[in-house]
């Protein structure tokens, strides 16, 4: 009887030991959670087709201001560059990508507005952009009203060109293309007189080596676009940590450096870094 009691106790101890070991093993496996422990990977949504902002290069690397911001923020959350997985998030799918948990956050020319704030939470803003015009370097267009009887290009489905026609130049001739790259090519060839969208996007295209010195921004401020970093609705912890990272990026000079490196060749007159939570209407 005495031997049986010792054996039972030893068996119980063994079970407890195995249980504790199993629990300890689970604690170390967070590679797919997207947490900020630094132990695994983090998925971040960006654009793949916007030079100067979010661009997937032919060699598979990524470049642009949004990429630089996202990389800085990820590092502050505990992730090195090789732990980041950039995921293409097109405009129409950004809210769904966050709600599904496909990505931890999105930095993709994501303008903060009331409709989107009903679906996601935003850190930032981290850049204040404006709708503007991209024109040839020798163009005499200086105001939106100068576009009357001229050809104006934007992408199919965009409201930018229609806004110019409705509010400034009713006689403007709208030309739609499938991508901004096509609009830029049309501007280069003389098929259109101007391209319109956010000045940051236009500056990114104009800064490409093949267009050096050919284009300029008109410098108009036809709208205010407050770029924010989107996180899943209710994820206040991540939003607050990203805001802290953005404030640090501005204070240590990394924000200014990223602006100059990505937009400098286009002579982009950027606004100062915006104050966190200050949405310019």
pTM score of the predicted model: 0.82
Band of residue 39 on the pLDDT scale cut at 50, 70, 90? low
Range with the lowest mean pLDDT among 95-104, 127-136, 150-159, 244-253? 150-159
Which residues are bridge partners to 200 per DSSP?
A: none
- 3-class state of residue 255 by DSSP: helix
Please give the CATH topology (third level) of the domain spanning 131-217.
D-Maltodextrin-Binding Protein; domain 2 (3.40.190)
- 3-class state of residue 83 by DSSP: helix
Quick one: pLDDT at residue 25?
39
Backbone phi, psi, residue 98, to 5° = -75, -45
Q: How far apart are CA 126 and CA 273, in angstroms?
A: 6
Which residues are bridge partners to 42 per DSSP?
A: 84
Q: Residue 31 above 70 pLDDT?
A: no
Q: How far apart are CA 241 and CA 150, in angstroms?
A: 47
Q: Residue 23 above 60 pLDDT?
A: no
Element containing residue 115 per DSSP (H, E): helix 114-117
**Residues 113-139, mean pLDDT to the nearest whole number:** 96
Q: How far apart are CA 127 and CA 80, in angstroms?
A: 23
**Which CATH class name applies to 42-129+224-266?**
alpha beta
Q: How far apart are CA 24 and CA 133, in angstroms?
A: 58
> What percent of the chain is modeled with pLDDT above 90?
76
The CATH 3.40.190.10 domain(s) of the chain lie at: 42-129+224-266, 131-217
The 3 state secondary structure assigned to 216-244 is: EECCCCCCCEEEEEEEECCCHHHHHHHHH
The Cα-based distances of 181 to 1, 27, 141 in angstroms read 86, 47, 21
């Amino acid at each position: 009887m005495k031997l049986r009691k010792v054996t039972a106790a030893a068996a119980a101890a063994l079970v407890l030991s195995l249980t504790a070991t199993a629990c300890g093993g689970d604690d170390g496996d967070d590679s797919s959670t997207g947490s900020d422990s630094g132990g695994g990977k983090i998925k971040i949504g960006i654009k793949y087709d916007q030079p100067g902002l979010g661009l997937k290069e032919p060699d598979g690397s990524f470049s642009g201001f949004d990429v630089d911001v996202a990389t800085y923020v990820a590092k502050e959350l505990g992730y090195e560059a090789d732990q980041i997985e950039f995921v293409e998030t097109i405009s129409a799918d950004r809210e769904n990508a966050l709600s599904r948990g496909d990505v931890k956050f999105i930095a993709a020319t994501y303008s903060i507005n009331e409709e989107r704030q009903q679906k996601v939470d935003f850190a930032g803003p981290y850049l204040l952009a404006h709708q503007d015009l991209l024109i040839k370097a020798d163009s005499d267009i200086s105001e939106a009203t100068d576009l009357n009887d001229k050809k104006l290009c934007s992408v199919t489905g965009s409201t930018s060109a229609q806004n110019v026609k409705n509010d400034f130049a009713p006689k403007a001739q709208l030309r739609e293309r499938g991508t901004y790259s096509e609009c830029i090519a049309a501007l280069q060839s003389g098929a259109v007189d101007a391209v319109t969208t956010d000045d940051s996007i236009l500056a990114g295209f104009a800064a490409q080596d093949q267009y050096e010195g050919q284009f300029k921004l008109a410098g108009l401020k036809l709208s205010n676009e407050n770029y924010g970093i989107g996180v899943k609705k209710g994820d206040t912890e991540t939003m607050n940590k990203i805001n802290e990272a953005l404030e640090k990026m501005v204070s240590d000079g990394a924000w200014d450096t990223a602006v100059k490196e990505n937009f400098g060749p286009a002579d982009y007159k950027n606004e100062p870094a915006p104050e966190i939570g200050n949405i310019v209407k």
